[in-house]
Structure 1
């Protein structure tokens, strides 16, 4: 792990510039990886698919999509209550940081491998283009509430975590696909309940999520181009590990911000479970093994993890001495670890055996 956090992170920020939320295990991470491995990555196994996706990325179907139209210019959101406003700003910030993290990683990968793997370099360049648009659009939305993130400063003050390229492929694939399902489920819900659409950015989600889907498909092809990522017993263990990591993070995050989803007319638990179910189903097209999310123990154990996380959050916000807080958190942490281990050990679904069958 490389920590670049400096003293300026704690200094007061200018008016209208939002101080980034404190980094925790649940906040979006900034990553660096093994650029040498990326430069030497062979794409032969999926060359046709990747060339087709590169053509699609060059066409840039969303180049005119991220425009602040009249809905934004004519809008006024002073009527939003403080709970809704606070939850929405937090949602915008988290989403902006996540997209910006992808931009930085893809941009650096593109730059480092340009001379040695030009096809992959161009793909990362075009994905960085998309992520930059997303981050900028989200940050501009925050400015409607008289706040924005200083992304240049965030670049210098964020903690960067090293992930091997194999882990990056697993996690970015999941990040893009779970992002797709989050966006499209919210969009479809608000289509049916337009009275809950309190801000015009939600109208952009249908086309927006197609960027996430395309990026996920690219990482699907990258994963399938490397047999060691799907055709070994280790890959089966890693697939389930990263699925569980992404799913528990999603569950904890959604329930921490349940009031935001309620403002959209969504039940946080039902939304969380639908996103997980759809992402797990989609992942079976890429991963050799996926989790059995229909097992009767799966969601109850995840929910218990969320309940314990909320209790730990309450303990952390209490006035008790730090030593007492840590002591009170220990059994809750042990409970979370125990439930996650039990979920991980549930009999998985063999996605390779199902590949090519109608489901």
Structure 2
């Protein structure tokens, strides 16, 4: 049975309403074409699915996400920009994990009688995502910022994605999540003096869940020839890589205060996560981005600078229509940089498969 997320109480305060304001970086809630999902033929990756299903049933992390006595203290020592950046990190992470839980749970329910293997796989992934969301929500409680997940379920807007888009984007979300967690974990192993909150000790097992989920979606992707054997799939692969990487760059540079407390340079962290995720995606996608192109990170970081300028405009006291006018050229500049990155020649990942790297 899917583990239910504990239903926390929520004081719907002004600060909470503002924290969940919709913008381009806010995690979305998704729905999809369940009829098409039910018809997916998994036979091309049957052995991989059976092996991963056995691993998911084993549930290696079932006893991992339990808070210990190290959480039982005041966290008022974390103040100012760093505190707000960390709360923002927890909130967006919680919403993202809970979004995955809802999508996987619904896929499991709708596919139960049509595609039982895939239904069980989504059922078990929903279990993991629920644990993550619940654990993050309890962490927010330590900072006076718990979230009513039941309220979010009923009141947030759901975005429709075709199942093909879901496969691309969830694969990338899980793999980039793996690299974010493991890089932070390894850094704090070397610099334990910067581990200001016990949550980070859980990141090693956490990223194992992310990695397993990513491998499941890799098998899903490779079971569908149209997702990796066509010219359209090459365009879609690079498009979704670019959207995920751009979102990551903008988000990381909005939270520099958080990374500074960890002793991590936000820009270098962003580069490493993107490079590692792009390299990993080359094992699943037919085409990936050229992250070593001299303009790749330069243009992404220009987008980040422009996004920070727009945030400054949003915080001003000017009328909304003035803010929109001031932000328009900045938004067009961001689009221009992203189009230039997308039009840069990609890397043929299929040609690299089977080579020693």
TM-score (normalised: structure 2): 0.95
Instruction: Deviation per CA, 1:267-313: give whole Å up to 9, x if none.
Output: 11111111000000000000000000000010000000111111111
**Structure 1, gaps ≥5 residues long:** 1-11
Residue aligning to 1:357: 355
- Conserved in 2, the CA contact under 8 Å of 1:17 and 1:148? no
Aligned-residue CA RMSD (Å): 1.4
Residues 1-359 of structure 1 correspond to what in structure 2 (within 5 A)? 13-14=11-12, 18-19=16-17, 20-73=19-72, 75-359=73-357
How much does 1:328 deviate? 1.5
Q: Give the whole-Å Cα distance in 2 for the aligned partners of 1:333 and 1:87.
A: 24
Residue 58 of structure 1: SS of its match in structure 2?
helix
Q: Give the whole-Å Cα distance in 2 for the aligned partners of 1:100 and 1:112.
A: 18
Residue 78 of structure 2: SS of its match in structure 1?
coil
Q: Give the whole-Å Cα distance in 2 for the aligned partners of 1:59 and 1:242.
A: 32
Q: Give the whole-Å Cα distance in 2 for the aligned partners of 1:33 and 1:266.
A: 37
How much does 1:84 deviate? 2.1
Q: Give the whole-Å Cα distance in 2 for the aligned partners of 1:276 and 1:17.
A: 31
- Greater Cα offset, 84-93 or 228-237: 84-93
Q: Give the whole-Å Cα distance in 2 for the aligned partners of 1:294 and 1:14.
A: 45
How much does 1:146 deviate? 2.4
Residue 112 of structure 1: SS of its match in structure 2?
helix
Q: Give the whole-Å Cα distance in 2 for the aligned partners of 1:81 and 1:56.
A: 41
Q: Give the whole-Å Cα distance in 2 for the aligned partners of 1:310 and 1:103.
A: 31
- Conserved in 2, the CA contact under 8 Å of 1:17 and 1:149? no
**Structure 2, gaps ≥5 residues long:** 1-9
Q: Give the whole-Å Cα distance in 2 for the aligned partners of 1:147 and 1:101.
A: 18
Residue 23 of structure 2: SS of its match in structure 1?
coil
- Greater Cα offset, 297-306 or 256-265: 256-265
Q: Give the whole-Å Cα distance in 2 for the aligned partners of 1:140 and 1:211.
A: 19
